[in-house]
Structure 1
Amino acid sequence: MHLTRSAILAAAVLALCAGSASARPRERAEDFFTMNYDGRMPACDDGTSLYEISQRFATAEAFTFNSPLRMAAFTDIRQSGFRPNGSDFIPRRYCTAKVVFNDHSVRTMKYFIVESGGFMGFNRGVQFCVLGLDRYRAFSPDCDAAGP
């Protein structure tokens, strides 16, 4: 009998807490975090982001996998989502592109740009996944975790 009263009390407290949490007004993430967000996310074809992707890929291929594979060009760049999780979350722009490699192969790449997602949150960060080359399996399966 005592256990039942405790369970009822716990359920009532949980219901009150859940009700008050859902009543809060929606806020943009940049309004309640101290971020260096200027309201302008770079576009998918931003040269700085694509350069960072190609450099990080080259470094991983050379030093981790002892491979001469390099990204040579980006084509068919498209946005696949912008803030798909809502404004409560840190701004992210999701993109896809075709990548031409130095061995003349063409593969699809999914990547996203995260506001304040760089080193220690001081600048923008970029995460990417090339279909067929996700050797760390960080975005498995088939780079789906790199998309919206």
Structure 2
Amino acid sequence: MRHRSLLALLSLALASATSSAASAADMLQAAPPPEVVIAAKVPACDDPKVLAEVEDQFEYGARGMLQSDLQVLEFRNLLEKAYFPEDEEHAVERRYCQGEAVVAQAGTQPGYGQTHTIYYVIEHPLGFASIGWKAQGCFLGLDRWHVYGANCSSLRRF
């Protein structure tokens, strides 16, 4: 009799241990993976300061190179194509971006421009006097002198 109660107690303890281990394993599997956060020196693709710099560069180039008064009305569908942090082998941090820009003659009402694919890169430390970041963009179909290669190839690497 004593032997039976000891066996029953041992069975109960074993069953209890396996059920708590299973629930602990379930809790570990349900936990979301940790987010990887990288402290970047270059801003995001949709940062308003980046878009303003790309817009200013384009509008300056349109007047000087295209002899046109084109302006950017809107940016859409912006996304990051690649990010390369600064490291021992690479002194410049780069973020490659892509999106669409609605472009029209100055004074055109919103909704009446042409949509162009835009490729742009944000680089650090390539700002004024190598301080801060700089953004450069290429509007597909509007780079007549191929400053960024045929079809903006130097900025659409990915």
TM-score bracket, normalised by the shorter chain, equals 0.5 to 0.7
Q: Which runs of 5 or more residues in structure 1 are unaligned? A: 1-37
Q: TM-score normalized by structure 2?
A: 0.63
Checking the alignment, whether the CA contact within 8 Å between 2:40 and 2:85 is kept in structure 1 is no
In structure 2, C-alpha distance between the alignment counterparts of 1:74 and 1:106, rounded to whole Å: 9
Q: Map 1:54-93 to 2 at 5 A.
A: 54-83=55-84, 88-89=89-90, 90-93=92-95
CA drift of 1:85 comes to 9.5
Within the alignment, does 1:53 sit opposite 2:51 as a pair?
A: no
C-alpha distance 40-119 of structure 1, shift in aligned 2 (>3 A): closer
Percent sequence identity over aligned pairs: 27
Q: How many residues align?
A: 111
Q: TM-score normalized by structure 1?
A: 0.67
Question: What amino acid maps onto 2:79 in structure 1?
Answer: R
CA drift of 1:120 comes to 1.9
Within the alignment, does 1:95 sit opposite 2:104 as a pair?
A: no
In structure 2, C-alpha distance between the alignment counterparts of 1:85 and 1:122, rounded to whole Å: 15
Structure label with greater radius of gyration: 2
Q: Which runs of 5 or more residues in structure 2 are unaligned? A: 1-38, 106-112
| Alignment match of 1:134 (pick from 124, 143, 154) | 143
Question: What amino acid maps onto 1:95 in structure 2?
Answer: C
Structure-2 residue corresponding to 1:143:
152
Q: CA RMSD in A?
A: 2.1
Q: Secondary structure at the match of 2:142?
A: coil
Within the alignment, does 1:118 sit opposite 2:120 as a pair?
A: no
